[in-house]
Amino acid sequence: MKASEIRSKWLTFFEGKGHKIEPSASLVPHNDPSLLWINAGMAPLKAYFDGRVIPDNPRIANSQKCIRTNDIENVGKTRRHHTFFEMLGNFSIGDYFKEEVITWAWEFLTNPQWIGFDRDRLSVTVYPEDEEAFRFWNEKIGLPAERIYKLDENFWDIGEGPCGPCTEIFYDRGDKYGDLNDPECWPGGENERFLEVWNLVFSQFNHNKDGSYTPLPNKNIDTGAGLERFASILQDVDSNFDTDLFVPIIDRICEIAGVKYHVNDEHDVALKVIADHIRTVVFAVGDGVVPTNDGRGYVIRRLLRRAVRYGKKLGVDRPFLHELVGTVGDVMGVYYADVVEKREYIEKIIRLEEERFHETLSDGLALLSNLVEAASNAGKQEISGGDAFKLYDTFGFPYDLTEDYASEHGMTVDRAGFDAAMEVQRSTSRGAHQASAGMSVQGGPLADFTGKSEFIGYDELTNEEATII
């Protein structure tokens, strides 16, 4: 089943259950300074949840573009994470609640008219104190108790505001993906044998300022399912990157780089990272973001630079990312017409940024060759951490390139000195950011939808990250 078919089945199914279909909102949050990016299907609908706006129809469904930069480290390493993905959602604003949402989720997943998963492959997690959800799964749906896992973290809570327990649905991908005797294979473990596909949140409490919880006047439902994950299961492929949402993009990169997918692990990671990042950048630029030195524009700049660096790992030394825009449009245009309509503009923004970065790289190389020569004239075998940091910080030259170049000339780089300089700069800029911004994008409300993983803002990349992009 093609991804576009899954998306339309979702919308048709929920339309049939009386939902109003909302188009995907922009990736750039509207009137919401707490968020850098829309990172969940519910994020653009927040005003309905907290009662500021009353929707015409209390039942809503969508397929929402999302960006989660906190998953950047996972991209290319796990089978299931992207920085840009689509979250399929259905929502009830004070209308239906647990029983309906569980019943419909099961119907959508197991009825052959819709997704048609084998019911024996499905397991769920519930919040340990949520006996009601346990009962619905066990008695109404008929899911055996041993396939209902109780997990403490199944409580969606963003600090002050609506919150509540959730129940998540996992699909067992079978022995090929891990050994059932290994607890890491069970829902919630690190292994991806049980793939988390859908999160159903019962927004039924208010988390008050004083830390107490009181029942909300309205009980809401907020769900999110990963389109790419459904596609990986339904197309019976190894990872999200092997679905029809990614393969044409990866094929195009292979063509440009003259490499093959599924031959060399390091190349595969690079192909996945580039395919991931180009989708993110294309959609963000389509939504009006341009590369800059702060905020969203900085995220885009870093993602592009990161993709260029991974391109180098594939042996591509020229601007090429803009050549992928058309392919992203071919794949996504069926639902997101604007990426096709704005193709030329998006290509131009990306090409200019790539060209600029390539210039940075060649300027950096010229400086570096002077440094190496000076060090060698002085009888030294090492580039100082301070110099490496200056190259990175002032000229945007990535650390690992400095190291590669140094080693080609029989030298090392003082990594500890580089890290220390980075740390000093980080704490300074963090202080400055907090003092001046007045806009909490980091760890703010809804920073990460589940509260389990912390949103990493643009000034909070790890050292490894910072040096590669």
Residues found near Mg ion in the complex (CB under 5 A)? 196, 199, 450, 453
Give me the least distance between CB of 168 and Mg ion, in Å please: 5
Of 9 and 426, nearer to ligand ATP (C-beta) is 9
**Residue corresponding to tokens 């619905």:** 136
Residues that bind ligand ATP (CB under 6 A): 68, 71, 80-82, 85, 87, 196-199, 224-226, 228-229, 449-450
Give me the least distance between CB of 447 and Mg ion, in Å please: 12
Of 130 and 228, nearer to ligand ATP (C-beta) is 228
Give me the least distance between CB of 463 and ligand ATP, in Å please: 22
Binding partner of 353, given Mg ion, ligand ATP, none, CB within 5-8 angstroms per partner class: none
Give me the least distance between CB of 453 and ligand ATP, in Å please: 6
Give me the least distance between CB of 227 and Mg ion, in Å please: 15
Of 49 and 399, nearer to Mg ion (C-beta) is 49
Of 199 and 467, nearer to Mg ion (C-beta) is 199
Of 198 and 205, nearer to ligand ATP (C-beta) is 198
Binding partner of 226, given ligand ATP, Mg ion, none, CB within 5-8 angstroms per partner class: ligand ATP
Of 29 and 385, nearer to ligand ATP (C-beta) is 29
Give me the least distance between CB of 127 and ligand ATP, in Å please: 13
d(C-alpha 199, C-alpha 40), whole Å? 11
